[in-house]
Amino acid sequence: MRETWRWYGPFDGITLPQITQTGAAGIVTSLHEIAYGEIWPQALIAERNAEIKAAGFTWDVVESLPIHERIKKGEGDLETLFANYRQSMANLAAEGIKTICYNFMPVLDWTRTDLKSPVSGGGTCLRFSAPKMAAFELHMLGRDAARDDYSADTIAAADVWFQASDEAMRADLLRSIMSGLPGAFDRYDIPQLREVLATYDGISRDDLRSNYKRFLQEIIPTAQELGMNFCVHPDDPPRDILGLPRIVSNADDIAWIMDAFDAPENGLTLCSGSLGANPINDVPDIARRFGDRIHFAHLRNVAKDPDGSFEEAAHLGGDTDMVALVRELLNAQAKRGVTIPFRPDHGHDLLMDDQIETQPGYPIIGRLRGLAEMRGVIAALG
């Protein structure tokens, strides 16, 4: 497996020379400064690629080439958006970048309620608290239908949290939920979030699937022509939130996607943390089942609570058997004769990590610990 590292370019407080010290060989990045739906200019791709090469790396994976919300909603004339997406693909391929990780999550990417939750022994981690998310939906957004999405005990805990909270705590909760969106676009306050959520009113799970299938039909043939691999990232968290359907949350969802356009180029980003947060998922079994379509892997671990809450665990310390998972990934790449790139995902903030301003969940020391642990597992199994 090939070691890579996610780098946020101009938005990242971690520099390429610092990443060199991790031992990773490849970079995973995106042009986060470009608005969703716009064409990625080849000149800008070439400039970023040259910067990465000058530091001694290769640009192995694009994460992500974002999908405009209108495509997810199937809204209006989409031909220009599809054409722009295909042109961005062609511009990336012209620079030798052939793997694209993306997601089909409506409105938000990964969602957490706490960015600095303490962990045993020191340090902090990302956490998703079901009661705090319920408090946000019920009391801050005023989405009363959310009462159907949480247990009575979770709603009671949400009421207690909200009644004890002040404006600063509520503002921090909103900031945490918005922090999963990378780059410079689409941060919402409460009125804006209500407005964008309203644009999804009436869009069902089946509707979202239909719009996703159209996306695959528009895009995968171009990927085939360009020799590119597309790999969808699972939902994070792998459950409906904010009244929005999530359709990449379990093995059945993945099977539907693979069948919606049955071609090797239509593949999966195996994110062990996202899938691992769903109690029904056996992550090593998912890797075994879909090994012929995994083009990229995010390796991290989570520890789950019975109420649906979870937090980022140490890479070898959560609920997923990471040794079994890595064994399945090594088997998959051996069968296919390929090398699967992976990156250590969401690490704990450790030691001096709080002194570097970077994206939440992406510290250098915490991820380096995860990379070292995964490197050891791979070496032992290899």
Mean pLDDT of the residues in the chain = 96
Cβ atoms < 10 Å from Cβ of 140: 18
Q: Is the pLDDT of residue 186 over 80?
A: no
The proportion of the chain whose per-residue pLDDT surpasses 70, expressed as a percent, equals: 99
233 annotated active-site: yes
235 annotated active-site: no
Cα distances (Å, whole numbers) of residue 301 to 21, 173, 347 = 23, 23, 9
Q: In the structure, what pLDDT confidence band is assigned to residue 187 with cuts at 50, 70 and 90?
A: confident
Cα distances (Å, whole numbers) of residue 305 to 130, 180, 201, 309 = 9, 21, 31, 5
Annotated active-site residue in 32, 68, 233, 315: 233
Annotated active-site residue in 12, 345, 349, 353: 345
Q: State the Rg of the chain over Cα.
A: 20
DSSP result, 208-244: HHHHHHHHHHHHHHHHHHHT-EEEEPPPSSSS-BTTB
Annotated active-site residue in 236, 346, 348, 349: 346
Annotated active-site residue in 295, 298, 315, 348: 298
pLDDT at 16: 98
Q: Before 237, cis peptide (omega within 30)?
A: yes
Q: Is the pLDDT of residue 194 over 90?
A: yes
Nearest Cα residue to 232 out of 163, 187, 298, 179:
298
pLDDT, tens digit (0-9, with 9 covering 90-100), for 320-377: 999 999 999 999 999 999 999 999 999 999 999 999 989 999 999 999 999 999 999 9
**What's the CA gap between 322 and 272, in Å, rounded?**
8
The ranges assigned to domains in the chain are 2-110+197-381, 114-187
Annotated active-site residue in 271, 348, 349, 353: 271
Annotated active-site residue in 102, 150, 212, 362: 362
pLDDT, tens digit (0-9, with 9 covering 90-100), for 100-128: 999 999 998 899 999 999 999 899 999 99
Question: Stretch 209-218: mean pLDDT, rounded?
Answer: 98
**What's the CA gap between 271 and 282, in Å, rounded?**
12
102: CB partners within 8 A, 6+ apart: 63, 64, 65, 66, 67, 230, 231, 232, 233
Span 2-110+197-381: which CATH code? Answer: 3.20.20.150
345 annotated active-site: yes
68 annotated active-site: no
Under 8 Å between Cβ of 129 and 309: yes
Question: Stretch 232-254: mean pLDDT, rounded?
Answer: 96
Q: At what angle do helices 205-226 and 79-94 cross, to 10 degrees?
A: 40
Locate 163 and state its tokens: 């009644």
